[in-house]
Amino acid sequence: MEKKGKNPKIPTDNARRTSPEKVIGILDLFEEEHLRWTPEQMMERLQCPRSTLYRYLRVLTTAGLVTSLPDTGYTLGPRIVELDYMMRSSDPLITNGRPLLQALVKEIAGIGLLCRYYKDRVLCVHQETSASEIHSSYERGRAMPIAVGATSRVILAHLNLPQLRQLYAQQSSEFSRKKIDKSLDELQENLREIRKLGYCLSRGEVTPGVVGIAAPVFDSEDTIIGSLSMVVSETGFNERRRRINIDRITFSARVLTNSMRPLDFA
């Protein structure tokens, strides 16, 4: 598997892509492990002529989506910050989920996460915390590991088979690291149990010493769009705490799902 960030997936049939797709392809180059790009690097990765590349870069620069400085190369631009602010103010997953997370972390000492599924990744879009001794490196804006951890696996459990099959084929090495997912059939069986329970609980899969509990969030058409989860300390995590936490988290996720549905006044 290609290491994420060092070799983003750029379609090999670049000539068949439309101009808007090619412009977006430049933005797709920016990953956590490769935040600055020189024009030469872009041309090599995109297999794009210099004249065409600079034409696309002018469009992105004018829009504020990328910016450049001497001897630095191109980086993401200030328009991204504006879009992020508007997303936090308009995305119903965040605006409806934020108060639920805030209430959860008042009851449960830990870190609350709202994550959205898009493309082939699970992205943290909002976080609340009430426990300074617990740390999570996957804060807002960072993609979570797709194959491990309650936050991601509860989403995987509600993907349809074609989606799951494609994801497994693309990232089979990631899934094989979780030794119980040695094949697609094994993965399906494990996810079927999560779907039956209505939640996922993991211990130390992403961060050592913590327990993750996650429940699915659906849109108005019952399509999985993300998850609501809590990360709590494994110390003192007894059966009573387990039951209480699961009840609170699954209830909050159901409330959030219901808030995504249009009101019926009939």
State pLDDT tens for residues 221-264: 999 999 999 999 988 899 999 999 999 999 999 999 999 887 55
Determine the pLDDT at residue 15: 57
Which SS3 state, helix, strand or coil, does residue 190 take?
helix
Distance CA 29, CA 46 (A): 9
- Among the listed residues 154, 239, 152, the one whose alpha carbon sits nearest the alpha carbon of residue 193: 154
Residue-wise DSSP of 42-90: HHHHHT--HHHHHHHHHHHHHTTSEEEETTTEEEE-THHHHHHHHHHHH
What are 139-179's pLDDT values in tens digits? Answer: 888 888 888 899 999 999 999 999 999 999 888 888 877 66
Give the list of residues 6+ apart from residue 126 with CB closer than 8 angstroms, or none. Answer: 88, 94, 97, 98, 101, 113, 114, 140
Q: Give the DSSP per-residue string, 128-142.
A: EE--TT---S--TT-
User: What mean pLDDT comes out for the span 54-75?
Assistant: 92
Residue 19 in this model has a pLDDT that exceeds 70: yes
Enter the tokens of residue 87.
Answer: 């997303």
The whole-model pTM stands at 0.84
pLDDT band of residue 181 (cuts 50, 70, 90) is confident
Query: Would you state the pLDDT for residue 55?
Result: 94
The neighbouring-strand residues paired with 227 are 115, 216
CA distances from 226 to 22, 115, 215 (A): 28, 5, 9
Which CATH number, 3.20.20.220, 1.10.1200.10, 3.40.50.170, 1.10.10.10, labels domain 14-79?
Answer: 1.10.10.10
- Only one residue has tokens 């992105």, namely 60
Read off the pLDDT of residues 101-129 as tens digits, 9 standing for 90 and up: 999 999 999 999 999 998 888 999 999 99
Q: How confident is the prediction for the chain on average, in pLDDT?
A: 88
Confidence of residue 84 (pLDDT cuts 50, 70, 90): very high
- In CATH, what class is 91-259? alpha beta
The pLDDT of residue 5 is 42
Q: Where are the domains of the chain?
A: 14-79, 91-259
101 phi and psi angles, rounded to 5 deg: -65, -40
Q: What is the predicted pLDDT for the residue at 215?
A: 98
Q: Directed axis angle between helix 19-27 and helix 50-62, to 10°?
A: 70
Q: Say what the pLDDT of residue 135 is.
A: 73
pLDDT at 30 over 50: yes
Q: pLDDT tens digits, residue range 200-217?
A: 999 988 888 899 999 999
**182 vs 73 pLDDT, higher one:** 73
Q: What is the mean pLDDT of residues 57-62?
A: 95
Q: pLDDT at residue 2 above 60? A: no
In angstroms, rounded to a whole number, what is the distance separating the alpha carbons of residues 240 and 245?
Answer: 9
What is the pLDDT, as a whole number, of residue 4?
41
For residue 77, CA distances in Å to 61, 81, 83, 139, 234 come to: 8, 8, 11, 21, 40
**C-alpha count within 13 angstroms, C-beta hemisphere, residue 244:** 10
14-79 and 91-259: identical CATH topology = no
Report the percent of the chain where pLDDT is more than 90.
64
- The neighbouring-strand residues paired with 36 are none
